[in-house]
């Protein structure tokens, strides 16, 4: 079995997580890793939203899947568009990791001095920072997690914000503050590792048994709402669903780019989730998209 992945340290670490779990299920299967460069890897001097947003890190992997050059692609789910490439399917989701964002160094958002230079590559994070701390100076930052940390240490930024899951999976013990997800709402699918296969393939049928149903329930709700809103990474949307016993709790926010407007929706629902209720939630969030 050939596993396609990006070549960043985080992508490779997540691929190793998948392979380790795969071998628990299929100890006799041989596995080969194939590194695939993507648009998001090659173009690092422009904001992610200018590259088409979601899909910039997965499009080339999808092409390899459809062409049969790889059997499996391992992605961060938050990098994937809600509408999958034709001929591929989201076969399995591994148990979800931390969903929160983290701020480096270890200082609370409220205690950052006015005018501090904060680096982020996400329009969602930027809008939330502007909403909570309009006195900060926000700067774009690209590069993998170690590169961003190096730029922070070099003094190019006073603080940076990134996904906590990346720090955990890379084993980086960098001083940081975990941003409260109730206040700083995560991205759709944040913390989840996606295993994508060719639609209807033998590999897909085999790997499907690795799917983690609690994670599936959470992220399918998040992605359904995003799909109904028609949002991408160029729109400041935060969506977080989490299992609560037999039910699921939903929290969603849509912000204006300047952070001055923030529409927030919370809902408790039972499982399985009623699609009519999901549409109702999306309709309640939709007016936020009309604010520039």
Whether 106 is catalytic is: no
Q: Which of 28, 62, 71, 79 is catalytic?
A: 79
Alpha helices by DSSP H, listed for the chain, are: 9-25, 39-42, 59-66, 123-132, 145-153, 164-170, 202-207, 213-229, 275-285
**What's the rounded Cα separation, in Å, for the pair 204 and 77?**
17
Query: CB-based burial of residue 168 (10 Å sphere; 0-12 exposed, 13-18 middle, 19+ buried)?
Result: middle
**What's the rounded Cα separation, in Å, for the pair 265 and 254?**
9
> Are the CB atoms for 103 and 176 separated by under 8 Å?
yes
SS3 at position 199: coil
Residue with tokens 């049969």: 68
**What's the rounded Cα separation, in Å, for the pair 73 and 34?**
9
Q: Which two tokens stand for residue 291?
A: 């604010």
Query: CB-based burial of residue 41 (10 Å sphere; 0-12 exposed, 13-18 middle, 19+ buried)?
Result: middle
- Residues with a known catalytic role: 79
């Amino acid at each position: 079995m050939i596993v396609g992945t990006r070549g960043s340290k985080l992508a490779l670490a997540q691929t190793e997580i998948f392979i380790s779990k795969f071998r628990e299920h299929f100890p006799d299967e041989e596995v080969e890793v194939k590194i695939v460069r993507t648009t998001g890897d090659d173009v690092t001097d422009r904001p992610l939203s200018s590259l088409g947003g979601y899909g910039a890190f997965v499009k080339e992997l999808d092409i390899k899947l459809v062409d049969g050059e790889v059997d499996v692609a391992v992605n961060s789910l938050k990098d994937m568009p809600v509408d999958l490439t034709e001929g591929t399917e989201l076969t399995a989701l591994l148990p979800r990791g931390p969903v929160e964002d983290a701020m480096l160094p270890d200082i609370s958002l409220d205690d950052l001095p006015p005018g501090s230079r904060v680096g982020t590559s996400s329009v969602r994070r930027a809008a939330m920072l502007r909403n909570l701390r309009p006195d900060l100076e926000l700067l774009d930052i690209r590069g993998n997690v170690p590169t961003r940390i190096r730029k922070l240490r070099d003094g190019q930024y006073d603080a940076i914000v990134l996904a906590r899951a990346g720090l955990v999976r890379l084993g980086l013990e960098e001083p940081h503050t975990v941003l409260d997800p109730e206040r700083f709402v995560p991205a759709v699918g944040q913390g989840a590792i996606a295993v994508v296969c060719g639609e209807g393939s033998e590999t897909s049928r085999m790997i499907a048994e690795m799917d983690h149903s609690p994670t599936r329930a959470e992220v399918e709700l998040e992605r359904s709402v995003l799909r109904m809103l028609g949002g991408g990474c160029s729109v400041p949307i935060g969506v977080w669903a989490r299992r609560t016993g037999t039910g699921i709790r939903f929290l969603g926010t849509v912000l204006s780019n300047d952070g001055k407007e923030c529409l927030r929706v919370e809902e408790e629902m039972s499982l399985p989730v009623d699609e009519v209720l999901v549409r109702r939630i999306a309709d309640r969030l939709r007016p936020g998209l009309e604010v520039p």
